[in-house]
Amino acid sequence: MADQWATLGVDLHLEPSGPGLRKGLTDALREAVRSGRLAPGTRLPSSRSLAADLGIARNTVAGAYADLVAEGWLTARQGSGTRVATGMSAPPARPWGRTAVPQARTAPRPLAPARPAYDLRPGSPDLASFPRAEWLKAARRALDAAPYHALDYGDPRGRPELRTALAGYLARARGVRADPERIVVCGGCAHGLRLLGAVLRARGARTVAVESYGLDVHWRLLADAGLRTVPLPFDHRGTDPGALTGADAVLLTPAHQFPMGVPLHRDRRSAVVDWARRTGGLVLEDDYDGEFRYDRQPVGALQGLDPDRVVYLGTASKSLAPGLRLAWAVLPPDLGEEVAAAKGGVDTCGVLDQLTLAEFLTSGAYDRHVRATRLRYRRRRDALVAAVAARAPEARVTGIAAGLHVLLRLPPGTEQSVVQAAHWRGLSVHGLAGYRHADTAAEPVDALVVGYGTPPDHAWSGALDALCAVLPG
Amino acid sequence: MADQWATLGVDLHLEPSGPGLRKGLTDALREAVRSGRLAPGTRLPSSRSLAADLGIARNTVAGAYADLVAEGWLTARQGSGTRVATGMSAPPARPWGRTAVPQARTAPRPLAPARPAYDLRPGSPDLASFPRAEWLKAARRALDAAPYHALDYGDPRGRPELRTALAGYLARARGVRADPERIVVCGGCAHGLRLLGAVLRARGARTVAVESYGLDVHWRLLADAGLRTVPLPFDHRGTDPGALTGADAVLLTPAHQFPMGVPLHRDRRSAVVDWARRTGGLVLEDDYDGEFRYDRQPVGALQGLDPDRVVYLGTASKSLAPGLRLAWAVLPPDLGEEVAAAKGGVDTCGVLDQLTLAEFLTSGAYDRHVRATRLRYRRRRDALVAAVAARAPEARVTGIAAGLHVLLRLPPGTEQSVVQAAHWRGLSVHGLAGYRHADTAAEPVDALVVGYGTPPDHAWSGALDALCAVLPG
């Protein structure tokens, strides 16, 4: 009998105390409601179920419930069970804190911050086009096929199904020389960089050369690991590796410089690998949007030139969605163990999404999605280039051959006012200044970094209009 | 026309070079197969699709494919398309490495290690009973309900839906004083401890008191953060907080000491919180299996006594599956920002599983699953206690009131030989010695830590038989 009820209902933690069981239970329940621990509307377990849990008579629980309904703390309604009454628990000014928390009296910080009307910040793809139905189908197939022990603690490198699928895909589509044994799955590219930063520092590295323009968050991750970042000069052929002397490693975006948009010139690709071979340095290749290329010959992964000296970093954040928190590092043979150890010796990425992505890759759904979105992004890029040429001839669009963003060059001295004007129109867009390494010697360039992949389809033309309206005409 | 083909097929990265386009393409393809970059059986894009991608005539691609089929590198079959032939690419002894990698000549490390026939190691629930169908249903509902921007980079604390659902559940079922704003979602409990270790060290902490018996991996995580761990004495009332002097924090499993299985005595619960209030110390409460209790009054979270001085750590690893890599910390108000910053300022946990768990909690599926599995685990525990009493009277089972494991006390000096005998029978089981802190003063105790939650149902009675067979009778 107790067994039967044990599987029904919900759990409710109570610690009745004192001599009278019914009074003790009533007091404990009242206190849980009064203190706000049980929120208004919370459904309580049935008296049968709670009695079985507490090992007491059902009548005792039913009596306590009845007392509290009479007192107004609970409500009992046919079909809806017993619930905590609304409006009875005094909302505490300081919810459970002992010390004064001034902001608790003002409006609490919202759980979800407000979003701008139009968003052209780079970094995210069109999330409204995330292939939800296809993803769920793949999740079902993956979970159906997975052995039960796939749900256990796993290899710190990630699920073998995903590493195998990635090895095949990266070799075919990006020219990466991949081997499942050398792949480590990470919770986003930043997580991968954090691991590599720790490993480099533990090996005695002090300095990582970076690009003059890039992501501040990546430089901070390396700094947190105790590494100094030194920017390399940049010109129309991309980042100049001539100044690499003294660096222990270099972080590059060779296929599509972020945010400038140019590929690393062929000679410089060779020069970087030569430097690494000559000095024992390590190249960190951030291939964040390598799948998205439009009118030019694709640029393969630098890693293909020397998989012993180049770490390849890829991600599902641009091709699918950042919220998946799935990225991957293809490592030289001597680094795999150290990176897995830096992960804490256990996998930290959810197995279900890993298995689903593996199924997505092997079934061809990933290729289909990338190719379909690539076409849509190319159309957006074409519309952007045409609109700017027609409506803002003083601005110049560059870095358009690939990726989900362009660089929009502005007349000198106008960047900040354009960003501000955009803000007033409800358009969120980034100036180039925020991507400039503090130690960069070259003169700053006025430009916007326009992420045309970001808006959902219904907001795209509005975002483009808003952008053109604030550009110097 | 090109647009139409752009969305079909798969991506194939090639860099044809040299004057003759067809010859260049043929050479590039042959090299990709010969080097092993394209694995045997890999399906190539259709000639139409690849021609569109490369911006060349379809006939050129078809010609190159035909040449390579004639040479035996590719196969073309009606309905199955063009594929890399099997048996053509010489398996390289050193796949792409420049330097010699001796182990590459021997059998490679298997992607999935062999599992023992019977597994009674503690730490995992019965993974075969993971509610796959219910989870997929919740995933569908969660993804249907999620706004598209939920798939973007998110709050480092985790999705608000999950933090809100957890706050309600933990308050109701575990007596935690929770507030969504103070919850940080982590990729497993170890990830949470790693973050807390970093925050404590940054605040100047040097020493964390721990239990005499516990998880070596947790102590190592704290040591990695630069913190010394000092074990506290242990007796039948649980860990003795009398020796806390000098510690900056203490890590405890109050509801169900791991692995000894006793709850922390009521007086000692108060003493721990008093110590924290008096000294400004922090209590880290690891509530790893708080949901599983059987015959006794449930033990609520210690955090309920003082949410300003106790960090509550919970996890889905025992109630659902470790592979989800979802855990949560409920933090004092002054720690939230620091822990979120230690996470790197971005969320590192997959959004889809977070949304699914939120839906699982709010729909009541979580309660149903916990209550159903609790009943099954209790039956296993009863069978274990009865079998040991009947077949191995010299062994004594303790710590049976809760959780997914028991402590099986053995005659002095027999632990190692019992573990070894079990291993020979294909039964994996842990001795207590591996859970003993190196600096523990008390005499070692001979015992097994038996995880009766681990095997799937079909292997449970076999595992129990194997266990009884190796116990000293």
Q: What is the 3-state secondary structure (H, E, C) of chain A?
A: CHHHHHCCCCCCCCCCCCCCHHHHHHHHHHHHHHCCCCCCCCECCCHHHHHHHHCCCHHHHHHHHHHHHHHCCEEEECCCEEEECCCCCCCCCCCCCCCCCHHHHCCCCCCCCCCCCEECCCCCCCHHHCCHHHHHHHHHHHHHHCCHHHHCCCCCCCCHHHHHHHHHHHHHHHCCCCCHHHEEEECCHHHHHHHHHHHHHHCCCCEEEEECECCHHHHHHHHHCCCEEEEECEECCEECHHHCCCCCEEEECCCCCCCCCCCCCHHHHHHHHHHHHHHCCEEEEECCCCCCECCCCCCCCHHHHCCCCEEEEEECCCCCCHHHCCEEEECCCCCHHHHHHHCCCCCCCCHHHHHHHHHHHHCCHHHHHHHHHHHHHHHHHHHHHHHHHHHCCCCEEECCCECCEEEEECCCCCHHHHHHHHHHCCEECEEHHHHECCCCCCCCCCEEEEECCCCCHHHHHHHHHHHHHHCCC
Chain B residue nearest residue A31, CA to CA: B175
Tell me, yes or no, whether A269 and A146 share the same domain: yes
Question: What's the mean pLDDT in A345-361?
Answer: 94
Residue A140 in this model has a pLDDT that exceeds 90: yes
Residue-level pLDDT at A75: 87
Between the CA atoms of A105, A106, A107 and A110, what dihedral angle is there, to the nearest 10 degrees?
A: -90
DSSP per-residue letters across B86-109 = TT-S---SSSS-SS--GGGTSPPP
Residue of higher predicted confidence among B297 and B406: B406
Selection from B398, B368, B455, B290 nearest residue B131 by Cα:
B368
Please give the angle made by the CA atoms of A137, A142 and A144, to the nearest 5 degrees: 95
pLDDT tier for residue A18 given thresholds of 50, 70 and 90: low
Task: Say how far apart CA B288 and CA B327 lie, in whole Å.
Answer: 9
Residue A472 in this model has a pLDDT that exceeds 80: yes
Q: Could you tell me what percent of chain A has a pLDDT over 70? A: 91
- Number of structural domains found in chain B: 3
Please give the angle made by the CA atoms of B305, B309 and B315, to the nearest 5 degrees: 80
Mutate to test the interface with B, among A42, A111, A217, A220 (most CBs of B within 10 A): A111
Q: How far is A348 from chain B (nearest CA, A)?
A: 5
For residue A245, CA distances in Å to A206, A240, A250, A276, A370 come to: 13, 12, 11, 10, 38
B11 closest CB neighbour out of A6, A12, A367: A367
Residue-level pLDDT at A98: 33
Chain B residue nearest residue A100, CA to CA: B333
The verdict on a CB contact (< 8 Å) between A177 and B96 is: yes
The verdict on a CB contact (< 8 Å) between B346 and A217 is: yes
A177 touches chain B (CB under 8 A): yes
B367 closest CB neighbour out of A3, A11, A148: A11
Tell me, yes or no, whether B329 and B275 share the same domain: yes
Residue-level pLDDT at B462: 96
DSSP 8-state assignment for residue B449: E
Chain A neighbors of B199, CB-CB under 8 A: none
Residue of higher predicted confidence among B299 and A120: A120
The tens digit of pLDDT for each residue in A244-293 reads 989 999 999 999 999 999 999 999 999 999 999 999 999 999 999 988 98
CB A158 within 8 A of CB A347: yes
The 3-state DSSP class for residue B201 equals: helix
CB atoms within 10 A of CB A62: 17
Residue A111 in this model has a pLDDT that exceeds 90: no
A322 closest CB neighbour out of B35, B152, B324: B152
Selection from A279, A315, A322 nearest residue A121 by Cα:
A322
CATH of the domain at B61: 1.10.10.10
Residue of higher predicted confidence among A227 and B64: A227
The verdict on a CB contact (< 8 Å) between B136 and A135 is: no
Question: What's the mean pLDDT in B342-358?
Answer: 91
Tell me, yes or no, whether A150 and A246 share the same domain: yes
The 3-state DSSP class for residue B450 equals: strand
Domain boundary among B363, B389, B415: B363
B348 touches chain A (CB under 8 A): yes
First-to-last C-alpha distance (Å) of chain B? 80
Tell me, yes or no, whether B349 and B372 share the same domain: no
CATH of the domain at B341: 3.40.640.10
Chain B residue nearest residue A192, CA to CA: B348
Tell me, yes or no, whether B30 and B78 share the same domain: yes
Tell me, yes or no, whether A139 and A17 share the same domain: no
What's the token pair of residue B385?
């206690």
What's the token pair of residue B429?
């089981």
A101 touches chain B (CB under 8 A): yes
Chain A neighbors of B456, CB-CB under 8 A: 148
The verdict on a CB contact (< 8 Å) between A325 and B307 is: no
Buried b vs exposed e over B240-261: b needs ≥16 C-beta within 10 Å?
Answer: bbeebeebbbbbbbbbbbbbbb
Task: Say how far apart CA A366 and CA A319 lie, in whole Å.
Answer: 8
| Residue B452 buriedness (CB in 10 A; 0-12 / 13-18 / 19+) | buried
Q: How far is A396 from chain B (nearest CA, A)?
A: 26
A42 touches chain B (CB under 8 A): yes
The pTM score is: 0.87
Tell me, yes or no, whether A354 and A378 share the same domain: no
Residue B91 in this model has a pLDDT that exceeds 50: no
Residue B109 in this model has a pLDDT that exceeds 50: no
Chain B neighbors of A107, CB-CB under 8 A: none
pLDDT tier for residue A105 given thresholds of 50, 70 and 90: very low
Residue A99 in this model has a pLDDT that exceeds 50: no
What's the token pair of residue B342?
């230690």
Question: What's the mean pLDDT in B136-158?
Answer: 95
Residue-level pLDDT at B98: 33
The tens digit of pLDDT for each residue in B252-289 reads 999 999 999 999 999 999 999 999 999 999 999 999 99
Tell me, yes or no, whether B397 and B350 share the same domain: no
For residue A470, CA distances in Å to A289, A383, A408 come to: 28, 17, 12
Instruction: Tell me which residue has tokens 């959780």.
Output: B403
pLDDT tier for residue B97 given thresholds of 50, 70 and 90: very low
Tell me, yes or no, whether A177 and A32 share the same domain: no
> Does residue B288 lie in a domain region?
yes
CB < 8 Å from B in window 180-239 of A:
180-181, 187-188, 190-191, 194, 217, 221
Residue A41 in this model has a pLDDT that exceeds 90: no
CATH of the domain at B414: 3.90.1150.10
Tell me, yes or no, whether A55 and A170 share the same domain: no
The verdict on a CB contact (< 8 Å) between B108 and A217 is: no
Q: How far is A251 from chain B (nearest CA, A)?
A: 18
B50 touches chain A (CB under 8 A): no
Chain A neighbors of B321, CB-CB under 8 A: 151-152, 351
The verdict on a CB contact (< 8 Å) between A153 and B97 is: no
Residue-level pLDDT at A405: 96
Tell me, yes or no, whether A350 and A411 share the same domain: no
Q: How far is A54 from chain B (nearest CA, A)?
A: 6
Cis-peptide into B263, omega within 30 deg: no
> Does residue A112 lie in a domain region?
no
A11 closest CB neighbour out of B109, B173, B304: B173
Domain encompassing residue B280: 132-363
Please give the angle made by the CA atoms of B424, B430 and B431, to the nearest 5 degrees: 100
Residue-level pLDDT at A52: 80
Mutate to test the interface with A, among B25, B99, B151 (most CBs of A within 10 A): B151
Domain boundary among B347, B363, B379: B363
CB pairs under 8 A between A and B: 275
> Does residue B89 lie in a domain region?
no
B18 touches chain A (CB under 8 A): no
Residue-level pLDDT at B7: 54
Residue of higher predicted confidence among B294 and A327: A327
Tell me, yes or no, whether A295 and A386 share the same domain: no
A153 closest CB neighbour out of B152, B322, B375: B322
The tens digit of pLDDT for each residue in A427-454 reads 999 999 999 999 999 999 999 999 999 9
**Three-class secondary structure assignment of B359-420:** HHHHCCHHHHHHHHHHHHHHHHHHHHHHHHHHHCCCCEEECCCECCEEEEECCCCCHHHHHH
Residue-level pLDDT at B104: 32
A124 closest CB neighbour out of B152, B175, B348: B152
The 3-state DSSP class for residue B234 equals: strand
pLDDT tier for residue A35 given thresholds of 50, 70 and 90: confident
Q: How far is B375 from chain A (nearest CA, A)?
A: 7
A240 touches chain B (CB under 8 A): no
Question: What's the mean pLDDT in B397-413?
Answer: 94
For residue A249, CA distances in Å to A201, A202, A314, B174 come to: 11, 13, 18, 49
B363 touches chain A (CB under 8 A): no
Least confident of A29-33, A297-301, B205-209: A297-301
The 3-state DSSP class for residue B183 equals: strand
> Does residue A103 lie in a domain region?
no
Chain A neighbors of B98, CB-CB under 8 A: 306, 308
A453 touches chain B (CB under 8 A): no
Amino acid at B222: L
Residue A204 in this model has a pLDDT that exceeds 80: yes
B136 closest CB neighbour out of A54, A139, A325: A139
DSSP 8-state assignment for residue B265: P
pLDDT tier for residue A118 given thresholds of 50, 70 and 90: very high
- The H or E element that residue B81 is part of is strand B81-84
Residue-level pLDDT at A303: 96
> Does residue A92 lie in a domain region?
no
Selection from A471, A399, A418, A411 nearest residue A446 by Cα:
A411
Task: Say how far apart CA B411 and CA A1 lie, in whole Å.
Answer: 39
> Does residue B41 lie in a domain region?
yes
The verdict on a CB contact (< 8 Å) between A350 and B346 is: no
ipTM of this predicted structure? 0.87
The verdict on a CB contact (< 8 Å) between B109 and A181 is: yes
Residue A101 in this model has a pLDDT that exceeds 60: no
pLDDT tier for residue B165 given thresholds of 50, 70 and 90: very high
Residue-level pLDDT at A217: 93
Task: Say how far apart CA A5 and CA A53 lie, in whole Å.
Answer: 8
Residue-level pLDDT at A261: 93
B322 touches chain A (CB under 8 A): yes
Residue-level pLDDT at B102: 31
Domain boundary among B333, B363, B393: B363
Chain A residue nearest residue B178, CA to CA: A37
Selection from B399, B406, B470, B410 nearest residue B444 by Cα:
B410
Residue B108 in this model has a pLDDT that exceeds 50: no
Residue-level pLDDT at A301: 94
For residue B379, CA distances in Å to B129, B339, B375, B385 come to: 15, 40, 6, 10
> Does residue B43 lie in a domain region?
yes
Mutate to test the interface with A, among B1, B11, B291 (most CBs of A within 10 A): B11
- The H or E element that residue B184 is part of is strand B183-186
The verdict on a CB contact (< 8 Å) between A154 and B333 is: no
Residue B106 in this model has a pLDDT that exceeds 50: no
Residue A7 in this model has a pLDDT that exceeds 70: no
> Does residue A378 lie in a domain region?
yes
Residue B201 in this model has a pLDDT that exceeds 80: yes
CB < 8 Å from A in window 121-160 of B:
123-124, 127-128, 130, 132, 135-136, 139-140, 143-144, 148-154, 160
A28 touches chain B (CB under 8 A): no
What's the token pair of residue B445?
């105790």
The tens digit of pLDDT for each residue in B26-66 reads 888 888 888 888 888 888 888 888 888 887 888 888 889 98
